[in-house]
């Protein structure tokens, strides 16, 4: 369960992009393999997935869009804690599961269509000091 103030469950809806709204530098197959390894995550061969945790308290729905051997972007929506989000984004991107800065990724917040660096998106949703934990 989530008890920590920094692990509050928050709603969001984004498109996740690589650097300059380009592709995320990982293949569909590698991402699918990492997602399928997450407990309780259900992944379909078309790139759609759903992840429910904590008896449904945390629910995330997503869709991977790939072309030319890379993930072009990923649509993700739902509600979850920061720690669950970090696990998911790490599985999608192949980055290590840390709360530190992830260089180059961008998030388009929906429905506002506001493009943000990933770290800014995470801070605005979870308002956590956990992002600075690895800076020291």
Q: Could you read off the pLDDT of 26-83 as tens digits, one per residue?
A: 999 999 999 999 999 999 999 999 999 988 899 999 999 999 999 999 999 999 999 9
Q: Could you read off the pLDDT of 13-41 as tens digits, one per residue?
A: 999 999 889 999 999 999 999 999 999 99
pLDDT value at 101 more than 90: no
Q: Where are the domains of the chain?
A: 12-130
pLDDT value at 131 more than 70: no
Close Cβ partners of 73 (under 8 Å, ≥ 6 residues apart): 15, 16, 17, 21, 23, 24, 65
Contact 54/1 with Cβ under 8 angstroms? yes
Rounded distance between C-alpha atoms, residue 69 and residue 55, angstroms: 35
The CATH-assigned architecture of domain 12-130 is: 2-Layer Sandwich (3.30)
User: 30 in helix, strand or coil?
Assistant: helix
């Amino acid at each position: 369960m989530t008890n920590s103030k920094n692990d509050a469950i928050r709603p969001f809806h984004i498109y996740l992009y690589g650097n300059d709204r380009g592709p995320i530098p990982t293949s569909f197959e590698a991402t699918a393999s990492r997602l399928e390894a997450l407990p309780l995550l259900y992944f379909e061969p078309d790139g759609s997935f759903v992840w429910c945790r904590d008896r449904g308290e945390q629910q995330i729905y997503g869709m991977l869009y790939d072309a030319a051997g890379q993930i072009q972007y990923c649509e993700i929506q739902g509600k979850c804690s920061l720690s669950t989000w970090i696990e998911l984004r790490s599985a999608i991107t192949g980055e290590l599961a840390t709360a530190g800065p992830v260089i180059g990724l961008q998030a388009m917040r929906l429905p506002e269509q506001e493009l943000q660096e990933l770290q800014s998106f995470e801070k605005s949703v979870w308002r956590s000091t956990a992002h600075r934990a690895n800076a020291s």
